[in-house]
Amino acid sequence: MAGLALRICKPGRLRTIMSSSVQYRTAASFQHDKAYVNGKWIEAKSKKTYEVLNPSTGESLGSVPDMDQADVKDAINVAYRAFQTWKKTLPKERTAILKKWYDLCLANKKELAKLLTLENGKPLAEAEGELLYGAGFLEWFGEECRRTYGDIVPSPVASKRTLVIKQPIGVAGMITPWNFPNAMVTRKAGAAIAAGCTVVLRPSEDTPYSALALCELAEEAGLPPGVLNVVTSGRGNAGPIGKELCENPLVSKISFTGSTAVGKILLAQSASTVKKVSLELGGNAPFIVFDSADVDKAVVGAMSSKFRNAGQTCVCANRILVQEGIYDRFIQALGKAIKAQIRTGDGLNPDTTQGPLINSRALEKVDGLVKDAVSQGAKVIVGGSKDERGGNFYQATLLADVSTEMRVVKEEIFGPVAAAIRFKTEEEAIEIANATTAGLASYFFTSDIAQAWRVSEQLQYGLVGVNEGIVSAVESTFGGWKESGLGTEGGKYGLSEYLELKNICYGGIV
């Protein structure tokens, strides 16, 4: 193959270099102990650091800078200066960089996935799936930025001509979560950079390494200094950094994925400078199985929707609503599938299908929800307690005879617990499903086409899966209704979050 060469990097280790730009490395080589600002790897001004722990073993993976408000203010100034140049680049130029970034992510997929598993805990196969999904946003937005068309508006006055153009909004401040430490960065930053914006991003304190690894590959792809800046910090500095991003007048846009409670704080803080805000917040997804459903297909959908990433996704099925005619059969089939398919363990073990929860706080929350449900009459079909291996592991759990008054129904579980509720009629199911302030994802299974139309239109959610447990795609919109958020990500609409409309009127034509 043209351009292929082999060289020895260290004794006993081969590094393969293809086309002089695509490098194959180890997960350790992607693990940076510095933040990334203005194209440089830097420490915190205070020199402080904090440790990042492997949620599977509890061992330290290393440390990264514990930056504060002064550090992020510097990063904002850098991004603002870089924006003055980056906004003038041609969409075609941005496309080339994003496409190269995409290629580099794919070329290093396995090592990036291993790093992701080490800091997040999800099984390696899931991590590789996230890498493919995440890289897809770089490719998609790289293509979409060449289609940011405007309009010629028919003028009501003979002497005037009116047109509408789209221009990048400016510096985008971003805060990303730990459950998708790669894809949430690319879905946000990929769109902003494609639109001509610059980025200051704080990744979750639990999973900073995947974001920093993306910076390394972005630089190799030719992204100029200052366009992408990643500041790391421990939990204690998260609030001050978020406040600076929201209130700094040089930041024009905020994008946040995380809890509803934090999202409300950021929204309030952004009001002082009237920023454009995108929020992807908590969910409480109903998963409805009607009597007409194919039970086997519904079980497959429930397994993929509920137990992916140990139930730690905002679109996970949270409330399993099953119509009384098939309730017992579905519960039996789902319990059997959980026992047969879920193998809890370290994510690097190829046999593992469910990793740990992210930390001890998450473990105690999930355990508390299950204990509350059982104390009120819920029946444990499978699991129901912390895993015998200890640490942050929790058993894949199925609860039956759950009522709508239990905490496990009212709160977002964010863990491997399926809580099943019996219902009688379609109207009852829709009423239960919509009786929440959340409105992100929803799912239902039916073989009745008329019912499929009725229910999909009546569910008050931004995402609806009909006979399908996984609905997210790079090409489609992703956003919540009600208190699950503002704005949208992905698809052709995701780029619009980083663009402003400008009306230009030319006079004196005749």
The encoded tokens of residue 238 equal 């998260």
Distance CA 297, CA 302 (A): 9
Q: Based on the residue annotation, tell me whether 246 is a catalytic residue of this protein.
A: no
The DSSP code for 353 is S
The encoded tokens of residue 281 equal 């917040």
- The H or E element that residue 85 is part of is helix 69-86
Please say whether the beta carbons of 147 and 64 come within 8 A: no
For residue 303, give the amino acid letter.
M
The encoded tokens of residue 444 equal 């239902």
The encoded tokens of residue 475 equal 């090409």
Burial of 507 (0-12, 13-18, 19+ CB in 10 A): exposed
Residue owning tokens 């619009």: 496
Distance of CA 338 to the CA centre of its chain: 25
Distance CA 348, CA 355 (A): 9
**Count of residues making up the chain:** 510
| Secondary-structure breakdown of the chain: helix, strand, coil percentages, each rounded to the nearest 5 | 40, 25, 35
Task: Give the DSSP letter string of 179-242.
Answer: SSTTHHHHHHHHHHHHHT-EEEEE--TT--HHHHHHHHHHHHTTPPTTSEEE----GGGHHHHH
For residue 108, give the amino acid letter.
N
Q: Which position among 280, 426, 483, 489 bears the catalytic label?
A: 280
Distance CA 107, CA 23 (A): 7
Task: Give the DSSP letter string of 250-271.
Answer: TEEEEEEES-HHHHHHHHHHHG
The encoded tokens of residue 389 equal 């291996």
The DSSP code for 173 is E
Distance CA 287, CA 3 (A): 51
Distance CA 339, CA 355 (A): 15
**Partner residues linked to 297 by β-bridges:** none
Please say whether the beta carbons of 106 and 84 come within 8 A: no
Q: Based on the residue annotation, tell me whether 314 is a catalytic residue of this protein.
A: yes
The DSSP code for 155 is P
Distance CA 126, CA 222 (A): 29
Q: Which position among 105, 246, 314, 316 bears the catalytic label?
A: 314
Calculate Rg over the CA atoms of the chain.
Answer: 24
Active site residues: 280, 314
